[in-house]
Amino acid sequence: MRVLVVEDNPVNMKLITLVLKKHGHEPLFATCGEEGVEKAASEHPDIILMDILLPDIDGLEATRRIRNIGTMKDTPIIAITSYAMAGDREKILEAGCNGYFEKPINPLTIMDEIEKIIQRGRP
């Protein structure tokens, strides 16, 4: 599975990349929202892990833009955020994400959690 990781924190990016590679997935990288949208359009990943706080457009706006790309309408997008306040879940889902994780992620369980979110999104 090709996984686009949109994350501006190098430590988080490295951790997620190691987990993805360990499970046999091919990580693709973007360090800001605009780059994430561009890579989604050009690379057509199987899944996207989207940070919410990014240096240019935030992850919610990037998700909305990706959902407007015809070939990306059904691609699972999972938000990764350190801001899980009341109402944030609704904003994240309304923007087009299939689910979200709170930071810090647990490298031992994140792949199981990703799979659960993907399965929930399937008919």
CA distance to 28, 78, 88, per residue, from 47 (Å): 10, 8, 21
Task: Examine the pLDDT at 8 and tell me if it is beyond 80.
Answer: yes
pLDDT in tens, 10-43: 999 999 999 999 999 999 999 999 999 999 999 9
Collapse the DSSP code of 30 into the 3-class scheme (helix H, G, I; strand E, B; otherwise coil) and give the result. Answer: strand
Closest CA to 36 of 15, 14, 56: 56
The overall average pLDDT reported for the chain is 92
Question: Where do the domains of the chain lie, and which CATH numbers do they carry?
Answer: 2-112 (3.40.50.2300)
Task: Examine the pLDDT at 54 and tell me if it is beyond 70.
Answer: yes
pTM across the whole model: 0.94
pLDDT in tens, 61-70: 999 999 999 9
